Structure 1
Amino acid sequence: MQQTTHKYQTMETVIFAWLLVILATTSSLVKAKYYLGSHIVDVPTTIKETHLHFFLHDTLSGDNPTSVIVAQPNSTVIKDNNNIVPFGAVFVFDDPLTEGPDPKSKVIGNARGLYALASRGSDLTLMFNGDLEFTSGEFNGSSIVVVCRDPLVLVKEMAVVGGRGKFRMAQGFIWAKAIYFNVTTGDGILEWNVTIFHQ
């Protein structure tokens, strides 16, 4: 009888110990917060301003395109068969960046990302999302990130929202000018003048 009582007391102790563990875990979960506080971060006192000038070549035609359509909704009604970029179309690109406007000029990097036609009206506008990495010179291995509305006009402003390497924490803007555009194929060459503020 005494052995049975001792056995039950031992089981009660084990169960009680487990209940304490469960309660402690549960109470710590309940006390968890979304906001854990703020603190002052040392930020460099000097911000660099860098200017870049290069050309982006976007080619949809031929045997070796740098931009290809990867999605187009079935529900899109194309009233204008001459429209090379129907509403909702999504393209993926891997465009070369060069020092000069000639496609054979020195390649200094590549722009990779995607763009989609995001307007339904006559004001053709893309949503551009790209990482422009430089593969030569002082900024080899660094990149700028561009996420912005991209109206299909001759001159436009676009936003630099970030970067990597020497352009870490970058912010800035781009003046992009179309120096060549083929309305039949959609091929284009853009001149980019970039102003970047970074650490």
Structure 2
Amino acid sequence: MALTLTKLLLFSFLVSSTVLTAKSKLLTSKREKLTRFLVYVHDQNAGSNATTVNVAQASTTNQSATSFGLVGIFDDALTMGPEMSSKNLGRLQGMVAFASRTEVAVLMSMNFVFTKGKYNGSSLTVVGRNLLFSKVREMPIVGGTGLFRLARGYVQTSTYLFDPNTGLLVLVYDFSVYHY
């Protein structure tokens, strides 16, 4: 039994080594390139069609000037232009956590999921700190899928429009992405 298990482990190692070698050759045969583009996000944080919902909060969040301890989930429209009627590119899905006791700053973990256009079937993952009242905020791109496999880089975001009466927030995201 032990001999058979040893042979099985050795065979498994040889197969996975071959697969890793083949994949790494495939990646090294491609050149890394820089892609820059803009997208717009439409976040509706009020009403029956809200795309952002609060899912948790600390017992002290309501007394906090910075919403410290509040956690939300979002599933927002991703478009080519600032108008909701512009070409739909996909969804921005993720989580936001108010993580500072002294500033209105959030920890964001989000996936830009492209379902249409030239990046259809691909995604970008951004995880980082967002200081909400800064004019321009920068966060790191930590990965991607599809055309953005092995992505790295940064994204800068700013508020394009905020309507406190309707709860509509339109953000612009300016990507600088290195990928293969």
Compute the TM-score of the two structures, normalised by the length of structure 1: 0.72
Where in structure 1 do 4 or more consecutive aligned residues deviate above 2 Å?
39-45, 181-187
Q: State the match for 2:83 in structure 1.
A: 102
CA RMSD in angstroms comes to 2.3
| TM alignment of 1:104-119, pairs within 5 A | 104-119=85-100
Counterpart among 120, 125, 145 of residue 125 in structure 2: 145
Gap regions ≥5 residues in structure 1: 1-20, 26-38
Compute the TM-score of the two structures, normalised by the length of structure 2: 0.79
In 2: Cα distance, 1:79 partner to 1:157 partner: 25
Q: State the match for 1:129 in structure 2.
A: 109
Stretch deviating more after TM superposition (124-133 or 102-111): 102-111
Answer yes or no: is the 8 Å Cα contact 2:64–2:101 preserved in 1: no
Answer yes or no: is the 8 Å Cα contact 2:74–2:93 preserved in 1: yes
Identical positions, percent:
36
The offset of 1:191, in angstroms, is 0.9
SS in 2 for 1:63: coil
The offset of 1:186, in angstroms, is 5.5
Answer yes or no: is the 8 Å Cα contact 2:107–2:129 preserved in 1: yes
Write 1 or 2 for the structure with the bigger share of strand. Answer: 2
The offset of 1:183, in angstroms, is 5.2
SS in 1 for 2:118: helix
Stretch deviating more after TM superposition (149-158 or 70-79): 70-79
The offset of 1:77, in angstroms, is 4.9
Deviations 1:88-132 (A, max 9, x none): 1100000111111112222111011101101111x2101000111
In 2: Cα distance, 1:186 partner to 1:125 partner: 19
In 2: Cα distance, 1:78 partner to 1:155 partner: 28
SS in 2 for 1:147: strand
